[in-house]
Amino acid sequence: MNIEVKNSVKPVDYIKSMKILEQRVKDVFLGKRDELLWIIEHNQVYTAGTNSKTKDLLDKNLNVIKTNRGGKYTCHGPGQKVVYFVLNLNKREKDIRELISKIEKCIMDILIEYKIKSYTDKKNIGIWVGNKDDSKKIAAIGIKVKKWIAYHGFALNVSNDLSLYKGIIPCGIKDKGITSLEAMGVDNYNNIEKVIIEKFLNIFL
């Protein structure tokens, strides 16, 4: 099984990236292209998943793009690594819960490289750090499965501006915060793309 790896150095327009992903989904389903791992950054953009609720949009003046991934409102911007993938579950396990578990493990393995202990929360999808009483999300997960082709992915906060989340209730969770590698004191993350690729391929190849 082959996975094409792409790492975009410059920010990619969100809508453009969605068009590329959708085309890749079709090509993977038809057997025309390999599966995909694509690491990118977006310029500041707010997106709403299929479970988003208007009450979670605090700033009604924000321009929000509706998307077909699972989840609710989130924010992308410079310094956040968005890890998109296209995986053919027809040739893997047709088990979405297992897929999410593998994504969670991938993210936690990445964070271990930076000496950050993280965990999952059964009630709230994503990856969390800190004490259970004061937990903060460091990575969000949102996927879509079409004809057993899984796509979209996860967003890992590295050095992004966390104040941009003030206009929304991220992922619809009121009582928990948001953090990043930088906010947790990590100052050397220049190799983050290499680490993401290594940990992802360790699990999915």
Task: Give me the residue spans of the domains in the chain.
Answer: 3-204
Closest C-alpha among 82, 101, 113 to residue 198: 113
Residue 1's pLDDT is 81
Average pLDDT over residues 129-139: 91
Higher pLDDT, 174 or 78: 78
106 is catalytic: no
How many Cα neighbours within 13 Å face the side chain of 113? 18
Three-state DSSP class for 201? helix
Out of 3.40.50.2300, 1.10.3720.10, 3.40.50.300, 3.30.930.10, the CATH code matching 3-204 is 3.30.930.10
Residue 171's pLDDT is 73
Q: Mean pLDDT across the chain, nearest whole number?
A: 95
- Which CA distances in Å does 50 have to 8, 93, 119, 174, 197? 26, 24, 25, 18, 28
Helix 192-204, helix 96-112: angle, nearest 10: 140
Q: b/e for 160-184, b at 16 or more Cβ within 10 A?
A: bebebbebbbbbbbeebbbbbbebb
Average pLDDT over residues 26-47: 98
Average pLDDT over residues 78-99: 97
pTM of model > 0.85:
yes
Average pLDDT over residues 153-160: 98
Q: Which of 108, 139, 171, 197 is catalytic?
A: 171
pLDDT in tens, 172-195: 667 789 999 999 999 999 999 999
Residue 172's pLDDT is 67
